Amino acid sequence: MANAYLQGVEISASQFLDIFHHYDKDGNGYIEGKELQSFIKELQQARKQAGLELTDQMKAFVQEYEKNTDAKIGIVELVQILPTEENFLLFFRQQLKSCAEFMQAWRCYDADHSGYIEADELKNFLKDLLQKAKKPYDEKKLDEYTHTTLKIFDSNHDGKLCLAEMARLLPDEENFLLKFQNVKMVRREFNKIFELYDQDENGYMDENELDALLKDLCEKNKKVLEVNKIPTYKTAIMALSDGGKLYRTELALVLCAEDISAPAPL
């Protein structure tokens, strides 16, 4: 079935997901090693059988990975190779041009402030993006996009997307949230940090307090965070705020490693 899909001029969102799962045989979220070599071989065969040339993206991909047995690719890399119908994932990435826009969208669509985008919220998010770009769609296609996006990015299979999972929609160069994955802290440590930098003890951080926190985080994590990117980090994180007031729950989305809905330890 996957081989037949590879012959298509355009691949639907659900077919794309079937292809990924077919080659990701161990289910670890990557096509790697023998899986990747098998994918490359069958991609070439399928295109030849369909009388289609490899696209420029496919040729570059084959050249880079054909003899690299240690390489691995994730689902976001794969979508840039295959001619996905309407290229729906890349389309969504193009609509979110910066981390700040992404954060604003998150705050808008996490309507219940649970810290997660659930299926109905995700559907509204995708629907509005399609309408904004004046892309034609029907309810069935919107359901397919919602289901496929959820399955692609829901890494812990809980049926909803946390901020870090949803952030994988962003282009790599804009995705500072991935860098913050390496500096996340447990709830107890996060609470202490929040209270330390909330200097006026009013229960939220303003831009100046966040700026001080980010400078210290960058100093302590030089190999991960870049000091010259502090304005970008700050603008994006403040997009989660309520009129310039960044409350504990919102900052926890970026800095806290534990479930933000869990009660803080005593």
How high is the pLDDT of residue 13? 66
Whole-structure pTM over 0.85, yes or no?
no
Number of domains in the chain: 3
With respect to residue 93, please indicate whether it lies within any of the assigned structural domains: yes
Instruction: Identify the domain containing residue 123 by its residue range.
Output: 88-97+107-171
Residue where a domain terminates, one of 130, 147, 171: 171
Assign residue 84 a region: left if phi > 0, alpha if psi is -120 to 50, beta otherwise? Answer: beta
Summarize the confidence of residues 4-24 as an average pLDDT.
72
Q: The CATH number of the domain where 145 resides is what? A: 1.10.238.10
With respect to residue 124, please indicate whether it lies within any of the assigned structural domains: yes
7: confidence class by pLDDT, cuts 50, 70, 90: low
How far does CA 10 lie from the centroid of its chain?
23
Q: C-alpha angle with apex 259: 100 to 239, nearest 5 degrees?
A: 15
260: confidence class by pLDDT, cuts 50, 70, 90: very low
Closest CA to 57 of 78, 31, 86, 33: 78
What is the tens place of the pLDDT at every residue in 65-117? Answer: 888 888 888 776 787 777 665 556 667 767 777 788 888 888 888 878 788 89
Note whether 133 and 156 are same-domain residues.
yes
Residue where a domain terminates, one of 149, 171, 193: 171
How high is the pLDDT of residue 1? 55
